[in-house]
Amino acid sequence: MESLKLIVDYGIIGFLLLMSIIAVGIAIERYFFIRKFDLKSFLEENKTAGELEVLLTKRMYVISSVGVNAPYIGLLGTVIGIMLTFYDISHGSMNIKSVMIGLSLALKATAIGILVAIPCVFLNNLLLRKAREKIEIFKSLEREKYGC
Q: What is the pLDDT of residues 10-45, one digit of tens each?
A: 889 899 999 999 999 999 999 999 999 999 999 899
Nearest to 37 by CA among 127, 147, 124, 146: 127
What local confidence, expressed as pLDDT, does residue 101 receive?
A: 78
What pTM value is reported for the model? 0.85
Element containing residue 11 per DSSP (H, E):
none
- Angle among Cα 84, 88, 93 to the nearest 5 degrees reads 155
Residues whose CB falls within 8 Å of the CB of residue 79, separated by 6 or more in sequence, listed in order = 106
Query: Reduced to 3 DSSP states, what percent helix, strand and coil does the chain have, rounded to the nearest 5?
Result: 90, 0, 10
What local confidence, expressed as pLDDT, does residue 145 receive?
A: 81
What local confidence, expressed as pLDDT, does residue 97 receive?
A: 79
- Residue 48: what are its φ and ψ, rounded to 5°? -100, 170
List the chain domain ranges: 2-146
- Residue 139: how many other CB atoms lie within 10 Å: 15
- Residue 85: how many other CB atoms lie within 10 Å: 21
Q: Are 20 and 66 in contact (CB under 8 A)?
A: yes
What local confidence, expressed as pLDDT, does residue 147 receive?
A: 75
The residue ranges of the chain whose pLDDT is under 70 are: 1, 93-94, 148
Q: Give the start-end residues of each E strand in 28-127.
A: none
